[in-house]
Amino acid sequence: MGKVFELFKNPFEGLSNYESIQDKCAEIARELFSNYHLACGNETFRFTEIEFYYYDKAMYLKNKNLNKWQEVTYPRDNYQGGQLFYHLSGIDICFDSHYKNNEGKFGGILIRAIKDNNGFIIAGPLNCKDEILNACKNESMPKLIYESDGQVIEPVPTYRSLGKTGTDKIHDRLCFFDGSIELILRHSQHIRFIYIRQYFICGTRKQEHISFFFIFEFI
């Protein structure tokens, strides 16, 4: 099943600083980019951008300032590492998650962009969810599959897009994109979806293009 399933078990246990947390996320991202894809029906999807979310109550209470990044995670219970969790913001690849009576630990990796069989990039968590689920055509649900060709894809860190809760572009570097994808972006025909995120700054409504164009223009 591959290394990543071991990494999904208590992924941040014993980590005492933000740099070690980011390094662990980068290690998991490297494994997913290099050795895994989602399979659904006859379609396969490679990961090109992912974003990390987690909550461990004991870890959070021990150091709320260090673990402020844990405050925006969808609760879930009785999920094994590698299972998929569907929610209002998209699809997560789960860590081992258990949560009852306000106790436990849970979380996952939000799929922000994928590449299909034809090399097209689908950008945006909800676009990814629609594309993946529609590929199933009411048959078997998507599954995380191990398939390694020996190529190592290095993840590039950027900041998480947290919407109304705000984004710390300097300290919150728990989003990663496929470092090899920049060449594809130079040819716009390979981008299937570019979507608009609306947000508020100082009461003024603004719009920004998001997807990989957003990443390369603004980091």
- The pair of three-digit structure tokens given for residue 207, joined into one six-digit string: 């719009």
The string of pLDDT tens digits covering residues 71-117 is 899 999 999 999 999 999 999 999 999 988 878 999 999 999 999 98
Instruction: Tell me how far CA of residue 14 lies from CA of 11, 21, 56, 122, in angstroms.
Output: 9, 10, 12, 36
**What percentage of the chain exceeds 70 in pLDDT?**
79
Q: List, for residues 182-211, the tens digit of each pLDDT value.
A: 545 544 444 444 333 332 233 333 333 333
First to last CA, the chain: 34
Q: Is 60 exceeded by the pLDDT of residue 55?
A: yes
pLDDT band at residue 165 using 50, 70 and 90 as cut-offs: low
Domains in the chain: boundaries: 4-218
Q: Are 106 and 99 in contact (CB under 8 A)?
A: yes
Residue 167 banded pLDDT, cuts 50, 70, 90: low
What's the whole-number mean pLDDT along residues 50-76? Answer: 92
Residue 160: pLDDT over 70: yes
Beta-bridge mates of residue 215: none
Q: Is the pLDDT of residue 1 over 80?
A: no
In this structure, CATH architecture of domain 4-218: Roll (3.10)
Which residue in 66, 62, 65, 63 sits closest to 22, CA to CA? 66
**Which amino acid appears at position 149 of this protein?**
D
CA angle 188, 185, 26 (to 5 degrees): 150
**pTM score, two decimals?**
0.82
